[in-house]
Amino acid sequence: MNSLLEALKENPELLKDKRLLKRTALKDTSLTTEQAVDLLKAYDLDIIEDLSAPSNPLTKAAILNKFENAGMSKEAVNWAYSFWEETLNTLGLMQTGQEQFPKVPETMDSVPLPIPEILLDFEDTDDENYYINPCLPKKENGIYIPCGIGNTDHGFFIYGIAKTLMCENPAGNIFALVYQYLTRNTVIRDQDIPAILKTEDTPYQLDYKSIFRLTIILLQMVRHNCVKGNTLTISFSDQAILEKAVELINFYAGRFCRLMKQPAKHLKVVNDPKAIKVSLTSTASQGIYIDNNIAGRSSARETWYGRKINYNLSVSDRPDLESILSEISPYKKFREGQFETLCSMLSSSQHSVCIMPTGSGKSLIYYMASLLQPLPIFVVAPTDILIQDQIRNLRELHRIDNVAHLKLTRDNSFAEFELVANLNYITPTSLQCRHLIAQFHHINNGTKTLGYRHEMIAAGPLIAYEKHDLPIRLKLLPSDFELELGLLGVPASDLQELQDHKIQITPIGRNADPLSYALKERLSENEISYVLIGTIPYPEYQIQLDCRSIRAFSCWPERIRGIESPGALFDAVTRKKLPYDADVQLGKNYYLLQSGMLNGGCSSVRLKQIRSRSVPGNCWRLYEVSAIALDVDAAKFFLQFHCRLTDQAVSIQPIWPIYTKSPYVIHHNAREMIFHVKGDVHTKSSPYARQRPPQPLDGGGVLEYIQCSVRQQLISSGHDYLLNA
């Protein structure tokens, strides 16, 4: 069955089973993933019932409006409506006055419904949690291989091979690619059997299960340094199977060598009765043998770490790459732009940017790239839902499930997590976990860590240690006001350690009562959380933490400035207190919180009192204030509150990377950040980072280039003497 429409023609009852319909739509190679998702969204919004209702049907306009209100684009709405309208007309179900679906003849009650081919997949992988943070099944001295032939073969364990940390074979990278390629799918079907074995003329049917298992054993012996020179010597009972296994390894090794522009690397295996015995049964007690995995299947693999390969691909490599393409997908040829982008990505040691239309096959490019590097590939996707769709597409269309969804959860901070998949999906939020960052550091260096929780410190500073003021925010009530203090967010991995810790904020002044908050309840991940610090302004606040041993709190100050005499200005939009030497922009509204009577008003400044509060010995007044003219009097007025009046305020806008979590938090893994900076200011990073000379722009301002060399950096723009203080 090649299309959704053909499946529905054969079995209209498919419309009643969302699960079967969903799988069939995603299997349809004539549809892009986005189109299949749009059809399923329309299905969830009851388009079948709306179009086939026998009485009081909705108008087309009403149905389209319902879809648009659900968040679908107009183009997607029109396309999905046309598809389902044409499909139901073809099936004879469009508002016929009959019941929506034909009855199944009584003589066919016991006949099972036709099941799309894709449903042969093992059932446990339907669970969305199956690929989230998979763990490697552990057996003492056993090497777990999850791949099996068909549904009932759940893989096996290899015993008798002494594990080593790194492969020392000169051709280790080549054989790592072969191993990775052959174990790309845990459920091996007939279409996954390599073509080289299918085309051979043999009088007997090939026992691919035995060939595959022996192939993996031989590769694991290479992986763990059992090879002497270029020759592996073993004792194996079936010479024909051994020859096929070696032929299979060398076939793919030759292909990868051609792509790498290297001389062919061949594994030579000598069958010597006196050598170590290799058996494909669990009855052997000596040598190397296997034991079937009788427990549930896991998608985790024993990872073979190699070194990054620098390809130099050209048009001459296209046949080899399209051979791989045809083995992992229903496609025989690359679409427009795919081959060129893949070559650019694999041949470049720098960043690569690919911009292609929706449905043009961008995902296939990094699917292919993941099979051509003996290192884990990490794909950053915006949402968990998109990751689930990507994994489903990988498994159902490309028959690849060497994949993991790395997700930061309450139960998993990645402190003890081991990478067990070649293709790893992650959201920007989970990407900030410092334990994962430490693993990336070692992977990029070609090493695998042991006890990386302790080695992580060697990766460099994770958090800037400079002290910074915490923001104070004004909260307006119907007839009063309050003040709030912003608490800096911390990495999710540190949130786990805050179960019983508290923060105490004490105003410095007479009759001031301390305020206490539970950190775990108040703090959020990498964002600023605000807590109440009272209704009476104080010039200074003391912060006491009982957990300064946690690295995230090393940059928190012990004291912060409050509302000092003669008063303080607040931004009218964010309601945050302006720092010393801030710019006040002509014509922009601000709040002024001032004690006593206001002195120094002038015609160039608009003032309006909106709140007041009397306290013993004083009165606090809150004003709306803005400068209406750029003159000396207005400038002097704002200078008394330590702010400068300007008609061009300082601004700092991130240009690259383009993903920002909030106006103040940027998550990325780029080596350099680019900012558009306006105003008579300079930009600085804490800790110190190299900067290229600013690049002036015709439209005003400059581009600032700042190198990213640590886990967290504070990027700020301001006047020279303030930044250098």
Q: How far is CA 508 from the centre of its chain?
A: 45
Asked if pLDDT for residue 222 goes beyond 90, the answer is: yes
**Cα(156)–Cα(611) distance, integer angstroms:** 74
pLDDT one-digit tens code per residue, 94-114: 654 344 444 434 333 333 433
User: Which residues fall within 8 angstroms of residue 355, CB to CB, at 6 or more apart?
Assistant: none
Q: Which residue has the higher pLDDT, 528 or 394?
A: 394
**Cα(59)–Cα(236) distance, integer angstroms:** 72
At 128 the pLDDT is 62
Strands (E), 572-713: 582-585, 590-595, 605-615, 618-627, 643-646, 651-656, 672-678, 682-686, 695-696, 702-707
How much of the chain is in helix, strand and coil states, percent to nearest 5?
30, 20, 45
- CA-to-CA dists, residue 96 to 52, 84, 101, 178, 613, angstroms: 7, 15, 11, 57, 73
Question: DSSP per residue over 260-310, as a string?
Answer: HT------EEEE-TTS-BB-SSS---SSBEEEE--S---------------
pLDDT one-digit tens code per residue, 642-688: 888 887 767 777 777 655 555 556 767 777 888 888 776 777 777 77
Helix ranges restricted to H, 576-701:
632-639
Bridge partners of 613? 620
Q: Whole-prediction pTM value?
A: 0.50
Q: How far is CA 374 from the centre of its chain?
A: 20
**Token code pair at residue 357:** 């239309």
**Cα(271)–Cα(668) distance, integer angstroms:** 52
Asked if pLDDT for residue 147 goes beyond 80, the answer is: yes
pLDDT one-digit tens code per residue, 308-329: 888 999 999 999 999 999 999 8
